[in-house]
Structure 1
Amino acid sequence: MQYHRIPHSSLEVSTLGLGTMTFGEQNSEADAHAQLDYAVAQGINLIDVAEMYPVPPRPETQGLTETYVGNWLAKHGSREKLIIASKVSGPSRNNDKGIRPDQALDRKNIREALHDSLKRLQTDYLNLYQVHWPQRPTNCFGKLGYSWTDSAPAVSLLDTLDALAEYQRAGKIRYIGVSNETAFGGMRYLHLADKHDLPSIVTIQNPYSLLNRSFEVGLAEVSQYEGVELLAYSCLGFGTLTGKYLNGAKTAGARNTLFSRFTRYSGEQTKKPSRRMLISPDVMAWTLLRWRSRLYAVNRLLPALCWAQPRWIS
C-alpha cells in the first residue's frame, strides 16, 4: 500500500480508502468487521462513513454503519492509526424522512449530527468531517443540468463553515471536507475561509469513474491549483464496470438487483459505454496506477474492496 499526505493537512492516507455505505443493509455487522479487518491488513487506513448510512437510507437503519464501525474500533484498539471520515447530511427533500425534523447545515444540526456520529463511532474526534451534499439545490447525485432558483439557501455557506470551524477549534474534528460539490461551491468555501480567517476545506468527495468524468470539467482545476484532494467514490459505477449487470443479469445481492431505483449507471444511456469499458482486475490495477499520475490528487474509496473480494461486491 502506498500513502501520501493530503495537501494543507497532516493526514497521511492510504492511496485506497474503504467505503462503508453497505454496512447495515447489504452487509451484516459480521460482514462489516471482516471487511474492515481485511482492509486494514492490506494497509488501508482511511475509513469513510456517514451519519446517513447505510444506503438506501431508511429510518430503521440510519446510523447502523457508524455503529458497526464504532464497535469494530472498540475491539480493534488502534484508533490513532486510522483516518476516520464521516459526513453531516444536507437538507432532506422530505422533512418527514430526514434524520432530524429541521435538517439543515446550520450550527444546531451540525452539533447534533457530530455528537451522534462520535457516540456511534465510540471516538472523541474525527480526522475528517465532510458536508455530505450542499444546502442549496444544485446538480449532484447524478443530476445533469442546472435549475435556476430565485430563493437564497436557508443556510449560507459561511454559516456552515463557521459552525464547522467551531468544532475544529474544540478538537472534535481535525479537518473539513465537502462532498457532491461543484466548482462554484468548492471555490466559495475557499474564498470564505480566506476572507473570514476560517479553516479551508482539504478534500472533496465526488464520483469519478470511466462512466462519470464530470470532475474533470471544473473541479480538477480547483483540486490542482488550490490543493483540494479528490476522494473519488463510485469508481466502478455502482459495480456496472465489473460487467455483472450485462445483458440484463441480476447478480444476487448486488445493489442494482436489490434496489431498482438506483439507475444512475444502469439506464439505457450507460449500457453501450459500460460494455466498452468493462474492467478486469488487471486492467483495474493498471488504471489505478495511471490515475496516480494525474495532475490533481486522487484518493479512491473502494466499496467493500469490490474486486478483491467478489463475495462482498456492492
Structure 2
Amino acid sequence: MLPQIHHCPNSYYGITLTGTMDPADPTIDVASLSETFKTAVECFERVELGANFRDFFDASQLKLSLAQNRLCRWGKTLGIDKMDEASFKNDFANVSLGSVNSTLERILSKFKETQDLCDEYRKMISHDDGKPLHACIRDLEMSREALKLDIKMRMLAISPGQRRSLRIRWVLYDGRLFTQLLANITIIVTDLENMFPHLEAKRADLCKNEAAQLIADTDGDKAITLLKEIAKQQDKVMYNALSMERSESSGNTATSSRGNNHAIQAGSNDSSIGGHSNDTSGRDD
C-alpha cells in the first residue's frame, strides 16, 4: 500500500509553486520563465530508479529520458533555453508568460508529489529487510547499447555547456508511481505544445534532426527498436521521426550495397574479388 501525502508543497528546488493561472501576474518575466523551465528539465536528472526496476531498467530509463527530451524540444522551439526575447515577442503574442509558467510549475508539482510519496514509502519499509531501498547505478544496470543511447538523448536535451551541477537526488522505488508520474508529465507537455500550435512543424523538424543523430550514434539496432516502441505510446512525433529515419537509412544502405556489388561484378575479372560476399542489403545501420 502506498502512503498518502496530505500537504501541498509551495516550493521545489528554489521555485515557488504559486498554482496561479493569472495571465497578468507581474512577477513572471522572461528570466523567471526560463528558470522555471530549466528547473523542470533538471527534475528528470534528479530521479534515480530503485532496485525494483532492475529487471526492466533499460526501458524505464529510456522512458524517463524521452519525456525529458520532449519537454526540451518544446522549450527549444520557443527559445526558452536561451532566453531569446526576440522569439518570445512573436510566439507569445496570444499566450501569456504567466499561463506558461504555471503549466511548467505543474511538472515541478508532480515531481515533488512523487518524491514526497517515495520519502514516506522509504520510512514505512526502512525496517523491512525484504524491501531493497538502494538506487540502481545507471552506468552498471543499463546494457551498453541502451546506455550509449540514453547518454546521447540527455546530451540533446541539455548541452554540456548548459548543464548545472545537481547535488540533491532522490530514489523512485515504486513502478506504479513511476507510471503515474510519466503519464502526468506527458499530459502537461501536451498542454504546453497545444499552447503554441503554430510551432508544430518546427518541433517536428527538430525531432527529425534529433532522431537522425540518435540512430547515427547508436551501436546496433536493439536500443533504437526499444526507444521506438516506447515513443509509440509516449511521444508520437519522435516515433514518426525514428520510423522515417530508419526507413531512409535502410533504403540508403540497400542502394549503396547494390551499387557496390554491381560495380564489382561488372568491373572485375579477378576471381579473388568475385569470391567475396559484399551483400549488406539486409543490415540495419
Which TM-score bucket, shorter chain as reference? under 0.3
Task: Identify the structure with the greater helix proportion.
Answer: 2
Task: Identify the structure with the greater strand proportion.
Answer: 1
Higher relative contact order (CA 8 A, sep 6+): 2
